[in-house]
């Protein structure tokens, strides 16, 4: 019989970075390969080793994979446990990186104007619940970049005409720990531009199973709403769209035909 724990804060599931890291582990290689391919295809004067900023870097899985390729990585997050975990993993591998506590809407990047790449995957941008915060964050990402640098953002889209509840499940194991993560999204509330999200983690370790549940809300974006947001940040130009297959050869249009999108934006 599993013990049930209802987590109180909307981002409480990030308080246990190991479980989060296990759940997203399978994406790391694909996302890293995609970033490398995008830098080659769309970047302007990218040096061999880039200066990278990851807003809301979480457990640091992508900081690590890019640092292992020699890039100079920096990231921030608002969750202190994620920051500690990210710092520990990088130190363990003797990788240099700067990781600090900051927020998506008001962060200060130490080398603003000089990053080659800023990236923000897995719908993290949707944690910004107002247009004002989303614009502020995008402007800061833009200000962090040098001219010709890339801002790459991956997020789920909402088609309000065809908007059923959704469910995704991942299972992973690492050193005697098994994590099953299930995520539900309720149909979007179009007027409020919000969708209710719920994640249930079933964690089995040392012969015991417990269930932790987190509830939170995401801001929703149709293709038109995303275009309207991008139009407010004139210093970024949309150069291409891809999807969560992370295939650089497959370009997508920014329309409601797809449920997810990766925006490749270039700093003018």
Ligand X SMILES: C[S@@+](CC[C@H](N)C(=O)[O-])C[C@H]1O[C@@H](n2cnc3c(N)ncnc32)[C@H](O)[C@@H]1O
Instruction: Please tell me whether residue 24 binds ligand X under the rule CB under 6 A.
Output: yes
Tell me the C-alpha distance between 268 and 264, whole Å: 13
Number of residues assigned to the chain: 268
The pair phi, psi for residue 228, each rounded to 5°, is -65, -40
The window from 56-64, 143-151, 225-233, 243-251 that contacts ligand X (CB under 6 A) reads 56-64
Q: Which is nearer to ligand X, 58 or 149 (CB)?
A: 58
In the complex, the smallest distance separating the C-beta of residue 31 from ligand X, rounded to whole angstroms, is: 7
Nearer to ligand X, 133 or 256 (CB): 133
Q: Which one of 12, 22, 57, 230 is in contact with ligand X (CB under 6 A)?
A: 57
Pairing of strands 236-242, 260-267: antiparallel
In the complex, least distance from residue 207 CB atom to ligand X, rounded to whole angstroms: 29
Q: Is the Cβ–Cβ distance between 11 and 216 less than 8 Å?
A: yes
Nearest C-alpha neighbor of 260 from the set 167, 120, 159, 172: 159
Q: Which is nearer to ligand X, 24 or 244 (CB)?
A: 24
Strand partners, 180: 171, 202
Nearest residue to ligand X, by Cβ distance, number only: 58
Of 7, 14, 140, 156, the residue at the interface with ligand X (CB under 6 A) is 14
Provide, rounded to whole angstroms, the least separation between the CB of residue 181 and ligand X: 11
Question: Interhelix angle for 80-92 vs 61-68, to 10°?
Answer: 20
Angstrom distance (rounded) from CA 43 to CA 154: 17
Determine the interface stretch with ligand X among 52-60, 157-165, 192-200, 239-247 (rule: CB under 6 A): 52-60
Q: Which tokens hold the place of 96?
A: 């240099």
In angstroms, rounded to a whole number, what is the distance separating the alpha carbons of residues 116 and 195?
33
Site residues (CB under 6 A) for ligand X, limited to 90-129 = 103-104, 121-122, 124, 127
The neighbour count for residue 173, using CB atoms within 10 Å, is 11
Regarding 149 and contact with ligand X (CB under 6 A), the answer is: no
- Candidates 35, 36, 39, 62: give the one binding ligand X (CB under 6 A): 62
Query: Restricting to residues 77-96, which ones interact with ligand X according to CB under 6 A?
Result: 77-79, 82
Nearest to 220 by CA among 185, 244, 255: 185
User: Minimum CB separation from ligand X for residue 61, in Å?
Assistant: 5
Residue 244 near ligand X by CB under 6 A: no
| CA distance from start to end of the chain | 57
Residue 221 within binding range of ligand X, rule CB under 6 A: no
- Binding of ligand X by 58 (CB under 6 A): yes
CB atoms within 10 A of CB 169: 9
Residues that bind ligand X (CB under 6 A): 11, 14, 24, 54, 56-58, 61-62, 77-79, 82, 103-104, 121-122, 124, 127
């Amino acid at each position: 019989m599993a013990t049930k724990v209802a987590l109180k804060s909307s981002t409480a599931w990030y308080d246990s970075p190991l479980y989060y890291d296990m759940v997203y582990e399978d994406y790391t290689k694909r996302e890293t390969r995609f970033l490398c391919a995008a830098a080659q295809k769309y970047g302007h004067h990218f040096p061999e080793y880039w200066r990278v900023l990851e807003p809301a870097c979480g457990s640091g899985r992508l900081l690590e994979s890019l640092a292992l390729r020699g890039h100079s990585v920096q990231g921030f997050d608002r969750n202190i446990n994620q920051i500690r975990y990210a710092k520990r993993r990088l130190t363990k591998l003797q990788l240099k990186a700067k990781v600090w506590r900051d927020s998506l809407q008001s962060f200060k990047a130490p080398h603003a104007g000089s990053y080659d790449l800023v990236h923000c995957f897995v719908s993290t941008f949707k944690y910004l619940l107002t247009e004002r915060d989303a614009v502020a964050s995008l402007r800061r990402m833009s200000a962090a970049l040098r001219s010709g640098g890339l801002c790459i953002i991956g997020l789920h889209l909402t088609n309000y005409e065809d908007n059923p509840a959704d469910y995704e499940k991942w299972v992973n194991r690492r050193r005697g720990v098994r994590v099953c993560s299930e995520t539900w999204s309720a149909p979007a509330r179009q007027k409020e531009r919000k969708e209710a999200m719920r994640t249930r983690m079933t964690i089995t370790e040392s012969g015991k199973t417990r269930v932790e549940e987190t509830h939170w809300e995401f801001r929703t974006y149709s293709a038109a709403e995303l275009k309207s947001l991008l139009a407010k940040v004139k210093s970024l130009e949309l150069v291409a769209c891809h999807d969560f297959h992370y295939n650089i050869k497959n370009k997508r249009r920014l329309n409601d035909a797809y449920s997810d999108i990766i925006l490749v934006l270039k700093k003018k």
